[in-house]
Structure 1
Amino acid sequence: MQPSEFRKHVAEAGAAAFEAASLKWLGETSKQVAEVVDVGEHHIATVRVNSVRPTAGAARQAGRELARIHAAGAPAFGAPPAGYEGPCFIGTQEQECTPRDTFAEFYPAQRVLPFTYAAFQAGNISQGCVEMVERACELIQEAELPPFGPARIHGDLWAGNLMFSDAGPIFIDPAAHGGHPVTDIAMLALFGAPFFEEIVAGYEEITALPDGWQETIPLHQLHPLAVHAYTHGLGYAEPLYQAAMKTIRLLEG
């Protein structure tokens, strides 16, 4: 018989508590979020999810649930889960969550540039790549992007963190904070979520995405690409460079 819970060891101090707080915050608005049953300094346990093959219908349901989670909102861009005051993470990496009024204030300074500089210091990207990302961030800070959010976002929504079970789609391992809704969708696109088009269709059954959102996907992929350039090495240098270049082209018009 399978155990009724999934227990994960977490080496980084504070990471388990942050994941638990993130799951609780997202779970306030959707039953399709993994349920925490225990958390300690270096472990977290959730109700076990029995994985099944994804279907178009389940993907569409995932989109609807993601829209409901986003619609719950957040106090500010960069706001951590309600009531949580410890360090914030994406995976094993600590990242800042300081509330800001606008996406332009928050995203470059707290998400893209710190990991870009860390990737450069690790020898994983070139100075030219850094300069390209810096220019993209300057334009984000100056741009008049369509007003949207702050949404209550998952924050680390690659394909592996959207599971499919006999109870429907289940969101796991979040790095939740106040952010832009396209950030979650862009990460699903980046790492090849199954039935991506159905996820988007389900999302838009609940909430319309902003006009032109598809063109902003590279902008929203700068953060996960910078994280991966730092943590996973040279293979992400060129994708990060290309995403920065596409962002520059978009915002320079």
Structure 2
Amino acid sequence: MKQVIQTSLYRLGDHSAIKAIQKISGGDINEAFYVLTHHGEYFVKGNNNVPPHFFKIEALGLDRIAQTDAINVPKVYDYNQPGKGETGFIVLEWIEEEVGNSRSVEQLGTHLANLHQHTADHFGFDQPTFIGELTQENHWRDSWVEYYRDDRMQPQLQLAVEHNTLPLKRRERLEQLLSRLDQLLPHHPSPSLLHGDLWGGNYLVGRKGVPYLIDPSILYGDHAFELAFTELFGGFPPPFYAAYEEVMPLPYGYEDMKPLYQLYYLLVHLNMFGESYGPPVDRILARYTEN
């Protein structure tokens, strides 16, 4: 990995000696490193078992968010599209983390709402993205319900069938729910730019308490979809939601829609980690379908 990092830094114009490479935590699927040279500091992620466009998509997402000037993300310095047997990597700005406070959380809510005010003409995205190691195929759709059903929920249903994580009753209820999503979700909310995978581990607080988003899986969709996921695994602190809603109120009926949006991420976790996520999937399906 050191040679991969050195070659990338040379390409960036940093020909100074590497003073330190320290392995750090960087998520469930990648190796991550803090790199210090005489010229600067870098955060590097690498993986030997990802598709060629894996880190390209991460870089694209970070750049798209950065272009809005709504919320901070690490700068992208370099990435590759590895061939067979090669290591994929991305080189990012090193963010020196600090302990956040209520002001940091408020800023995160405000800045995320500002991000969501950047919109497109259609729903979805023009190329595949990833959540964890799972590919998310994307298309541009005129209807949010169509995108959410056909590009997000149906592929997870099919993957669950392949992984044998859908007992008959669960599958019947999920198919029943998908057949009536058009009665439960808005067809034409504003197509907001979403981070797409926003849980507590995908933001950090840098110097002076400034929040940064990391590891995006971007799409254009209902901003309530993003907020629903932030509430799924423990939620964010209350000041985050209060600050968000000062800029961009949640839609009417949000509490009724929220479990439907959380269901997608629970299916993802069911497909990635197994039956421990089956019971919450079943509870949501029972709420919206007939026995």
Relative contact order, higher structure (CA 8 A, sep 6+): 1
1:5 equivalent to 2:42? Answer: yes
Which amino acid letter does the alignment assign opposite residue 117 of structure 1?
A: Q
Q: Deviations over 1:153-186 (max 9, x none)?
A: 1111121112222241111101101111111111
1:18 equivalent to 2:57? Answer: yes
Higher Cα radius of gyration:
2
Q: 1:191 aligns with which of 233, 245, 248?
A: 233
Q: 2:274 aligns with which of 186, 208, 233?
A: 233
Q: 1:101 aligns with which of 128, 134, 142?
A: 142
Distance 2:252 2:100 in 1: 29
Distance 2:136 2:80 in 1: 21
Partner of 1:120: 161
Verify the 8 A CA contact 1:218 1:247 in the aligned structure 2: no
Partner of 2:176: 135
Q: Could you say if the C-alpha distance between residues 115 and 49 of structure 1 is closer, same or farther in structure 2, counting changes exceeding 3 Å?
A: same
SS, match of residue 180 in structure 2: helix
Q: Deviations over 1:116-151 (max 9, x none)?
A: 221232122322212222222222134462742211
Q: Which moved more, 1:100-109 or 1:26-35?
A: 26-35
Q: Extract unaligned runs of 5+ from structure 1.
A: 81-85
Distance 2:259 2:184 in 1: 15
Q: Deviations over 1:4-31 (max 9, x none)?
A: 2211114222111111111111111224
Higher strand share: 2
RMSD: 2.0
Aligned residues: 243
Question: Identity of aligned pairs, percent?
Answer: 28
What TM-score do you get using the length of structure 2 for normalisation? 0.77
What TM-score do you get using the length of structure 1 for normalisation? 0.88
Which amino acid letter does the alignment assign opposite residue 44 of structure 2?
A: R
Partner of 1:208: 249
Q: Could you say if the C-alpha distance between residues 236 and 51 of structure 1 is closer, same or farther in structure 2, counting changes exceeding 3 Å?
A: same
Which amino acid letter does the alignment assign opposite residue 8 of structure 1?
A: K
Higher helix share: 1
Q: Deviations over 1:12-66 (max 9, x none)?
A: 2211111111111111122412221111112112112223333222111111111
Q: Could you say if the C-alpha distance between residues 50 and 213 of structure 1 is closer, same or farther in structure 2, counting changes exceeding 3 Å?
A: same
Distance 1:119 1:55 in 2: 40
Verify the 8 A CA contact 1:139 1:248 in the aligned structure 2: no
Verify the 8 A CA contact 1:154 1:175 in the aligned structure 2: yes
